[in-house]
Amino acid sequence: MSKHKADSSSHSPNKKIKVSTVSRPSVGNLSPETSDLTFQQLELDHYVGTPYPGMPGAQTGSVPIMRMFGVTKSGNSVCCHIHGFSPYFYASLPGSFTQADCSSFKNKLNNAVIADVRSKEKITDAVLMVQIVQGKSLVEYTGDEDLNFIKVTVALPRFVAPAKRLLEGGTVIQSYYCSIFESNVDIEMRFMIDTKVLGCSWIELPIGKWFKRTTTSQFKITSRCQIEADISWDNFIAHAPEGEWAKVAPFRIHSFDIECAGRKGIFPEPNIDPVIQIANVVKLYGADEPLIRNVFTLNTCAAIGHAEVRCFNREEELLDAWADFVRELDPDVLTGYNINNFDVAYLIDRAKQLKLRNFDFLGRILSIRSVIKETVTQTKIGKRTFKSVNFEGRVAYDMLMVIKRDFKLRSYTLNNVSKEILGEQKEDVHYSIITDLQNGDEQTRRRLAVYCIKDADLPLRLLDHVKSFTNDIEMARVTGVPITSLLTKGEQVKVVAQLLRHSREAGYFMPTHQQVPSSEQYEGATVIEPIRGYYTDPIATLDFSSLYPSIMIAHNLCYSTLLKPNMQNKLGLTPDQITVTPAESMFVKSSVRMGLLPQILQQLLAARKRAKAALKDEKDPVMRAVLDGRQLALKISANSVYGFTGAQVGKLPCLEISGSVTAYGRSMIEQTRLEVEQHYSIANGYEKDAKVIYGDTDSVMVNFQVKTLERSMELGREAAELISSKFVKPIKLEFEKVYFPYLLINKKRYAGLYFTRTDKYDKMDCKGIETVRRDNCTLVVDVINTCLQKLLINRDPDGATAYAKQVISDLLQNNVDISQLVITKELTKADYAAKQAHVELAKKMTKRDPGNAPKLGDRIPYVITAAAKNTPAFQKAEDPIYVLENNIPIDATYYLENQLSKPLLRIFQPILGENAESILLRGEHTRTKTVVTSKVGALAAFTRKKETCLGCRSVLPAGYENEALCAHCKPKESTLYQQELSHQKKLEDRFSALYTECQRCMGSLHEEILCTSRDCPIFYIRKKVQMELENSQNRISRFGEPIEEEEN
């Protein structure tokens, strides 16, 4: 490993080289008397503190104080304390309750709450205020009259729950059980709604209204931000994210990656294995080039051109210096790959192990340590533990979580993700080599550092490439939730936030929903039964644009318009004021009351239109990304409203709404079918009878039985318009695309060539066809893809069939590269109830080499090898490298029957019909099989390899073992020699192409390739070519030296 002459004297640890400045730009003079303070807030939380003099709200005892973190336009960090805001909720009142009852009610509730919380500190005012307010419950239409509600304001958030419970219990108001509203809204959300603060919005503290904390001010500086300010909650301005305020501040995004020196065969454990390197890459939002790129290394490390190297003698120094670096850098966003579950947690545990007292102050609040919180979630697959770490004021934005949330991939390793998303392979140094590199010299450590930096670089590049941060900022703005909740909380919170904002303006109170398990079912979106087949005529697709939102708008479906069966007569509503949905629920029409959900949806759709229009005119690439993110966020938000009403374990499920929406959807699809087939018929003067061949959720596929794209598009457009006119506005049927040709396999399984214009197809569109399933080998994915391409793009069903047959034949003749046959599974626990292939293999590998045994959490690649009949599949799994090295035969039949056959038959059945199976799986092409002799195994011990003639494979007679050919083949020597050469030539060519490719990927010509990325398609081939070359050279050498020795 240490082929380089190490000149270790040149680098003494701790010698800093060209340390670039890390801190933020300086603030300069900033005074509340002369200037405002404007910043974009990113994080928002609250804490309990003491009242700030001169601010509204309780003046004694503990009060909640809101805290915002953000960045100014010039890149200064801000921590802003916002005073005077208190939590509250609403409760229903008996009709008899009057203003006069308020005071005694307040005292009674106050005392009850104080008694209930039994706090050690003395509380005098738990309930600060009760007011009678007018409004309506959000759920159900019960007439237009406002009712009296009581608004209960409490001193601290923790008093909300007991107050709610007491009111519900009927003890405070004699024998009246209050219905409670909005008690489950946390104080951050409450505050944001009341002050119209949206996620990531710009906040202005006007001149003279704010106070700046200094070293001498009465209230001490509590944060690491450059500016710390105080203001009253009713004195600041929250700007709507439009125009100038749509911009994004230069947030500091800090990506990092750590390397640990593990022991052989054991995944690094923080109580034993040291952290040896931490690489950091910092970028400002919207900048092209990173601001800082550096690496902290344990022991010396040779300099790196594109990054600063900081070396340390002791691990303690390294960790402390890194923590200092983070504090000085003061990042707004921390990112990396799997930092939540690994890097951060490891660092904190390791620092604890090394007894570093100040390491874990990584957030922005001086007094708060970052700690690991474990949450266990129970999913269908099993228990999973997630770790999270608090960084007050900084957003932990783990790219692994983002990619998992936004992309469906075969594997989420950083290698695979960068391959799939960035389209580039990444060098993968196996962790067993990492310790060797660390124990080498300063050059091997440099090698490791370069690798580590790359791993810190990639998450940032991913973040830029998928625009996730920009899109999340926009989602936060559109839905009004803090950006952190987009990663940590589910979908529902976004809808709740919007509902609350609109409820408040419209005078509704949102009930606190008691979650009760419900067995009520409603019918999902059904489909028109597909007429399967391979259609070579153009198939026009008619789509309802934003179907569910438009149904809700068209029929005024909302919580607030829901009419319970007995209420129609009670309220004296006439039938024309009521909509009875196909699901037999009743809603009042918009003439009676405009629903809130339709209003929200209309606004979202209108805003999307505006964003799209603005996007068209925008030139600046950064702003374009922002606007595109916004229109996407608006679309997603509009579509998520329906899901929210249907989520049975949600905040406010309403099956009347969701059931009606899907029922309308179903009937509309059906109606569209009828209309199309009736109108576009020979009887009606058209050339052919149109046929709807399939319909799903919001689209209908029509075969107009015409031959050209042009005609199909023309009819499609016409039909969309014709049928739109038969539905209530804004429901609109749109003609979007033609599939030509179209392969309809089953419900939600189809593929077609997608045309929106006549000259060129847009793409190949596949739905529900195994292309991403994780437990398939890549052979399946590739074969299915190629077959579909042949069917759809080349319109060559015969070619596709021939290709499929060829692959099957190649497979049976051992002509498929092993990398295409590798199946990968994660080793999640040592003992499964049922024996599993990868677990059994892990045991086998442990026996072979305990040092390199796979560990829990490793992904285990394996291939299925041939074995005696009736050997269970789990015993046939083998390590691909072991298979290559020992020439173990692959179980081609397994791959054919268990991997290839089903997906292949699925796509070929519409073409070949019932014969598909016999044509593909039992044809002539399946007759030839290649038998490979293994170097290991039961029989190998008894066979002695005898040299055979390279021409006819007959055993060479004694005394002639070193000849290439037998006497019979000798006349054909030239030909046979050239055949061997031909293969050798091809292998040599592959060898040089493969190894230079790896050099380029690694980014170095002079260093050895160490990569063992099993996600890379050429990893196994590289090995295989090497082995085959050796073999081939041996065969050729049997022909003797090219120039005959002269006989003297």
Residues 780-799 that bind other proteins (CB under 8 A): 782, 785-786, 789-790, 793-794
Applying CB under 8 A, among 116, 140, 810, 858 the residue interacting with other proteins is 810
Pair of tokens at residue 995: 């190894």
Query: How far is residue 800's CA from residue 792's CA, in Å, rounded to a whole number?
Result: 10
The mark string for 409-448 relative to other proteins (x by CB under 8 A, - otherwise) is ----------------x-----------------x--x--
Applying CB under 8 A, among 886, 973, 1035, 1038 the residue interacting with other proteins is 973
- In sequence order, what are the beta bridge partners of 260? 275
Nearer to other proteins among residue 103 and residue 1033 (C-beta): 1033
Closest distance between other proteins and the C-beta of residue 599, in Å?
47
The Cα-based distances of 576 to 233, 559, 568, 573, 990 in angstroms read 47, 19, 11, 8, 77
Is the CA virtual torsion 593, 599, 602, 603 positive or negative? positive
Query: How far is residue 108's CA from residue 120's CA, in Å, rounded to a whole number?
Result: 20
Closest distance between other proteins and the C-beta of residue 330, in Å?
22
Closest distance between other proteins and the C-beta of residue 964, in Å?
9
Q: Considering only residues 290 through 309, tell me which ones interact with other proteins, judged by CB under 8 A.
A: 293, 302-308
Nearer to other proteins among residue 11 and residue 46 (C-beta): 11
Which class for 168: exposed (0-12), middle (13-18), buried (19 or more C-beta within 10 A)? middle
Q: Considering only residues 471 through 490, tell me which ones interact with other proteins, judged by CB under 8 A.
A: none
Closest distance between other proteins and the C-beta of residue 807, in Å?
6
Pair of tokens at residue 458: 């990639």
Query: How far is residue 912's CA from residue 43's CA, in Å, rounded to a whole number?
Result: 59
Residues with Cβ within 8 Å of 90's Cβ and at least 6 positions away in sequence, in order, are 133, 135, 149, 150, 151, 152, 180, 181, 182, 509
936 CB-side CA count, 13 A: 9
**Beta strand ranges found along 581-634 (DSSP E):** 586-588
Which class for 771: exposed (0-12), middle (13-18), buried (19 or more C-beta within 10 A)? middle
Closest distance between other proteins and the C-beta of residue 1036, in Å?
8
Q: How far is CA 870 from the centre of its chain?
A: 41
Cβ–Cβ < 8 Å for 474, 633: yes
Q: Considering only residues 322 through 381, tell me which ones interact with other proteins, judged by CB under 8 A.
A: none
Nearer to other proteins among residue 311 and residue 528 (C-beta): 311
Which 3 state secondary structure label does DSSP give 682?
A: helix
Closest distance between other proteins and the C-beta of residue 988, in Å?
4
Which class for 319: exposed (0-12), middle (13-18), buried (19 or more C-beta within 10 A)? buried
Given the DSSP bridges, would you call strands 77-83 and 127-137 parallel, antiparallel or unpaired? unpaired
Cβ–Cβ < 8 Å for 555, 658: no
Nearer to other proteins among residue 293 and residue 608 (C-beta): 293
Cβ–Cβ < 8 Å for 335, 349: no
Closest distance between other proteins and the C-beta of residue 1018, in Å?
6
689 binds other proteins (CB under 8 A): no
770 binds other proteins (CB under 8 A): no
405 binds other proteins (CB under 8 A): no
Cβ–Cβ < 8 Å for 700, 528: yes
Nearer to other proteins among residue 209 and residue 410 (C-beta): 410
- In sequence order, what are the beta bridge partners of 825? 860
Cβ–Cβ < 8 Å for 739, 754: yes
Closest by CA position to 386, among listed 377, 394, 395: 377
Provide DSSP, 190-213. HHHHHTTPPTT-EEEE-TTT-EE-
Closest distance between other proteins and the C-beta of residue 812, in Å?
11
Q: Considering only residues 997 through 1036, tell me which ones interact with other proteins, judged by CB under 8 A.
A: 997, 999-1001, 1003-1009, 1017-1018, 1021, 1024-1026, 1028-1030, 1033
Closest by CA position to 339, among listed 279, 415, 424: 279
Closest distance between other proteins and the C-beta of residue 979, in Å?
5
Cβ–Cβ < 8 Å for 83, 231: yes
Q: Which phi and psi angles does 613 have, rounded to 5°?
A: -65, -45
Pair of tokens at residue 948: 């055979």
Nearer to other proteins among residue 882 and residue 1039 (C-beta): 1039
**Tokens 């922005």 appear where?**
364
Q: Which stretch binds other proteins (CB under 8 A): 528-536, 644-652, 730-738, 815-823?
A: 815-823
Closest distance between other proteins and the C-beta of residue 1044, in Å?
5
Query: How far is residue 723's CA from residue 690's CA, in Å, rounded to a whole number?
Result: 14
Query: How far is residue 262's CA from residue 448's CA, in Å, rounded to a whole number?
Result: 14
Q: Considering only residues 167 through 226, tell me which ones interact with other proteins, judged by CB under 8 A.
A: none
Inter-helix orientation angle 709-724/655-679, to 10°: 130
What amino acid occupies position 190? R
Closest distance between other proteins and the C-beta of residue 774, in Å?
18
Closest distance between other proteins and the C-beta of residue 1010, in Å?
10
Nearer to other proteins among residue 658 and residue 865 (C-beta): 865
Nearer to other proteins among residue 306 and residue 380 (C-beta): 306
Hey, how many other C-beta atoms are within 10 angstroms of the C-beta on 1001? 17
Q: Considering only residues 66 through 85, tell me which ones interact with other proteins, judged by CB under 8 A.
A: none
134 binds other proteins (CB under 8 A): no
Closest distance between other proteins and the C-beta of residue 779, in Å?
8
Q: Which stretch binds other proteins (CB under 8 A): 140-148, 227-235, 779-787, 909-917?
A: 779-787
Nearer to other proteins among residue 60 and residue 794 (C-beta): 794
889 binds other proteins (CB under 8 A): no
Q: Considering only residues 562 through 581, tell me which ones interact with other proteins, judged by CB under 8 A.
A: none
Q: Considering only residues 918 through 937, tell me which ones interact with other proteins, judged by CB under 8 A.
A: none
The mark string for 974-1003 relative to other proteins (x by CB under 8 A, - otherwise) is xx-xxx-xxxxxxxxxxxxxxxxx-xxx-x
Q: Considering only residues 817 through 836, tell me which ones interact with other proteins, judged by CB under 8 A.
A: 817, 820
- In sequence order, what are the beta bridge partners of 694? 701
Closest distance between other proteins and the C-beta of residue 991, in Å?
6
Closest distance between other proteins and the C-beta of residue 42, in Å?
28
Query: How far is residue 281's CA from residue 450's CA, in Å, rounded to a whole number?
Result: 12
Q: Which stretch binds other proteins (CB under 8 A): 808-816, 850-858, 888-896, 921-929?
A: 808-816
Query: How far is residue 971's CA from residue 977's CA, in Å, rounded to a whole number?
Result: 11
Q: Considering only residues 11 through 30, tell me which ones interact with other proteins, judged by CB under 8 A.
A: 11, 17-18
Nearer to other proteins among residue 450 and residue 583 (C-beta): 450
Nearer to other proteins among residue 367 and residue 974 (C-beta): 974
Nearer to other proteins among residue 293 and residue 825 (C-beta): 293
Nearer to other proteins among residue 418 and residue 631 (C-beta): 418
Query: How far is residue 283's CA from residue 293's CA, in Å, rounded to a whole number?
Result: 9
Which 3 state secondary structure label does DSSP give 170?
A: coil
Closest distance between other proteins and the C-beta of residue 412, in Å?
20
Nearer to other proteins among residue 231 and residue 302 (C-beta): 302
Residues with Cβ within 8 Å of 993's Cβ and at least 6 positions away in sequence, in order, are none
The mark string for 729-768 relative to other proteins (x by CB under 8 A, - otherwise) is ----------------------------------------
Nearer to other proteins among residue 589 and residue 983 (C-beta): 983
Nearer to other proteins among residue 496 and residue 784 (C-beta): 784
Nearer to other proteins among residue 196 and residue 983 (C-beta): 983
Closest distance between other proteins and the C-beta of residue 891, in Å?
17
Closest distance between other proteins and the C-beta of residue 303, in Å?
5
Nearer to other proteins among residue 165 and residue 1035 (C-beta): 1035
Closest by CA position to 747, among listed 696, 700, 819: 696
